[in-house]
Each structure stands twice: as C-alpha cells, then as structure tokens.
With several copies, the nearest count.
Chain A
C-alpha cells in the first residue's frame, strides 16, 4: 500500500465513526467512498447515491455486474435489501430537504468561515459542481475528508481563494492529522489522530483555530 493510500485509509476509518445507526449517508467520489469499508459492525446506515438509489451496496463480483445499477461515478454497484430507486428530482429532494444525515466530500480548500471550494480551478479545471452544491447546502452534517495539505501547501485556509462551492456549509474536517469541528461557528481542533502533534497541525494549517482536545 502506498503512503497516500495508508493516509486515506486512516481518514476513512475516522470518518466512519461519525456514522450512526439509521442514518442516510451520501459519500462523494474518491476518498469518501472508502468510508463504507470501515463501518462498525453494529451500525446500519443506508448509502444514498444521487444518481438514483438509496441502499448502495458493494461493487459486484466480476462477471456479475448489472449495467442498470450504477453509482454516481457510473461504476456498477449493487443494492442492499431495503433499498429504493428514484428519479433525480426525488434524489435531490432528499438531499436539499435535509434527509441526508451525513455527506462526506473532498475539498480543494476550506476556510475559517466553513466555506468550501471543491468544484473548479479557473483556467485549469472546470469539471462542474455536479451534486456537490446541493449536498453541501442540504445535508444535515457535512464532513470534509481530505489530506491535510496538497503538495505541502495548506488546504485549511483563513479565506478560500478558489470559487466557492458553498458558504458556511462545513461542519467537520477530518484529515490524516486531526479532526476539526466548527463549534459556535469557530474552527475548533477537537482531536489529534495517527500520533500527530499539535505543532504539526499548526504548521500545516493556515486558518486560525481554537484547541479543545
């Protein structure tokens, strides 16, 4: 396993602890998808896939793919017992309506005011926001799951520079070093993980934050 994969696994394991029994959860593409692998045994959640299903199951074994069941990345998946299919307007009705208990997304930048930028880099990459803006605005709890820095540059900033995906939407940030929560609107360090040190978090974080370990 590469060093990066190891770090991502650490993050995914920690995110999984935030998922409670009975939750509807939407996982973004990439790192967030890994979270499903680390769900505690006694916690039953239903994964929502914005392309049109609730009860997203694991990828099918090779040769058993059903081309009519896919996730939001277009990859073949399965549905668990007790799942449901729906159209895109119902899907985003669930999302915008606050029926998704937790969404886990990656980010390019997050800032002190819980703003997030994760959908474009002007002049370089304009993939589109897909369902991210709706998820950020609608989900009851937004967890950003990402590596703490990008090429050694902080991603948790005083103020986002990139075009925002949503304003004041983030509730929690989980990286390979620590867990931040926005408490009373203030970025607060609540946990160090993976034997990281406060000093390291300070060095790698541009944003000011309160410490409540």
Chain B
C-alpha cells in the first residue's frame, strides 16, 4: 500500500466546510509545510481544532490572518492579535477550552468514550450550558468527545507504512489527534523503511495514517 502523496494531492483533500485538527503548540510540532500549502490554496470556511493560534506569522496563525476559519476551538489565542480581533468582531466563532480538557476531549473522541468528568472549570464560565455531575461529593463537568474530519499531524521520522515518531516537545497534540479524525495526514520530516523505528518509539501506528507527505522529496523538488 503506497501512502505517500504530493502536497497538491494533500491540499485537494481539504475542502471548504471541513473540520481540521492541527498538531503543534505555539507552532512547535505543527506540520508547517502543509499549513503553508493550505494558505496558498486559500480554502475557506474551515473549523480549526488546535491548542492555540500561534502568532500572525507562524503555524495555523497564518491561516487565521488569511481568514480561512469560520470556527476555531482552541485553549489560547493571546499571541495572535488577529484571532482576538475576529473573536471581538464576531467574524469567527471562537470557542475557548481549557487545554487539559481539550486534550482529553480529543482523546475521548479517539478512544470511543462518550465523555468524561473533569473538575477543571467548575465555578467558571466554562461550566455554562454543561451537565454537572456529582461524584462522592465532588462536582465535575461532563465534557464531551471531540473529533474532526481531518487531522494534520507532524512526524519527525515516519516509516513507509505510516508509523510515526514525533520527537521532543513537537509531540504535544499530534499523537492524540491521529486517533480522533476520519482522515489522518502526516507531514514526514524524514521518511525511512518499515522496521527502522524502534517499536517503543512509535507514537502513531501505521494503520491510523491514511497519507504521508514526504518532505525529503518535496524539499529537493
């Protein structure tokens, strides 16, 4: 099974109206080349799920500046003024979610849970409109799972079957997002033969990855 696709093919898979999860934390561990190609493609009306919107000139922040999102679900937008502006004017529907809750909602979406009870946000506006459940005299918010049409993830080393190793702090949301989307595309910084990644270091199994964009080839082109 050949999973490598060109950047053009990758871009053609992202269509208006889709929801996309994008890995990365302040753009560290974001599949930056795919994001750049999406900026160029100018596809609009997307829903973004990403822990932050980076800055105006980094990661998904560039797509915010390019007004490609009609909805954004994130935990932090403070370092990208354009996101704040779009929130204030109402141009974009921005939903803020505590970061741990966001991670857990994505994990729940990817692992078949119907939701989970978290103490995070109790007594704050985060609990508004949500079911509160008491367990052993403690109050928890019932938070629901989150999934997306597409996950765009970053891979430090990817093998040709699609196994992914994501090094150091580039891992962040990438590995859990790979569980929670119908279509998973990985940007491979380095592509190796199957069997070259230590099975202890595989962070996304090959069967979850639909397509690989091989940057070693694209950078040569």
Taking beta carbons and an 8 Å cutoff, which residues of A are in contact with B?
21-24, 44, 46, 49-55, 66-70, 72-74, 79, 81-89, 91-99, 101, 115, 125-134, 137-138, 163-168
Name the residue among B51, B78, B88, B101 with the largest chain A CB count within 10 angstroms: B78
B200, CB-defined interface residue at 8 Å: yes
List the 8 closest pairs (A to B, CB-CB), nearest first.
A127-B78, A74-B26, A81-B195, A92-B100, A167-B123, A96-B112, A93-B111, A134-B100
Cα separation A22 to B185 with both chains bound (whole Å) = 16
Task: Name the A residues within 8 Å of B124 (CB-CB).
Answer: 133, 163-167
Asked whether, in the complex, the Cβ of A127 is within 8 Å of the Cβ of B77, the reply is yes
Cα separation A99 to B162 with both chains bound (whole Å) = 15
Cα separation A107 to B192 with both chains bound (whole Å) = 42
Taking beta carbons and an 8 Å cutoff, which residues of B are in contact with A?
1, 25-29, 51-52, 54, 74-79, 84, 87-88, 96, 98-104, 106-107, 110-113, 118-126, 156, 159, 161, 163, 167-176, 179, 194-195, 199-200, 202-203, 205-208
Asked whether, in the complex, the Cβ of A68 is within 8 Å of the Cβ of B168, the reply is yes
Query: Known contacts A91-B103, A97-B110, A134-B101: does B202 contact A84 (CB below 8 Å)?
Result: yes
Contact partner of B171 among A24, A86, A128, A134, CB < 8 A?
Answer: A86
Asked whether, in the complex, the Cβ of B118 is within 8 Å of the Cβ of A89, the reply is no
Contact partner of B176 among A50, A74, A89, A133, CB < 8 A?
Answer: A89
Query: Known contacts A70-B25, A166-B123: does B203 contact A96 (CB below 8 Å)?
Result: no
Cα separation A207 to B106 with both chains bound (whole Å) = 40
Give min CB distance, B2 to chain A, whole Å.
11
Contact partner of B75 among A83, A87, A98, A129, CB < 8 A?
Answer: A129
Cα separation A125 to B194 with both chains bound (whole Å) = 44
Query: Known contacts A87-B173, A128-B76: does B99 contact A93 (CB below 8 Å)?
Result: no
Asked whether, in the complex, the Cβ of A164 is within 8 Å of the Cβ of B123, the reply is yes
User: What residue in chain B is nearest A164 (Cβ atoms)?
Assistant: B124
Query: Known contacts A68-B156, A70-B169, A126-B77: does B205 contact A54 (CB below 8 Å)?
Result: yes
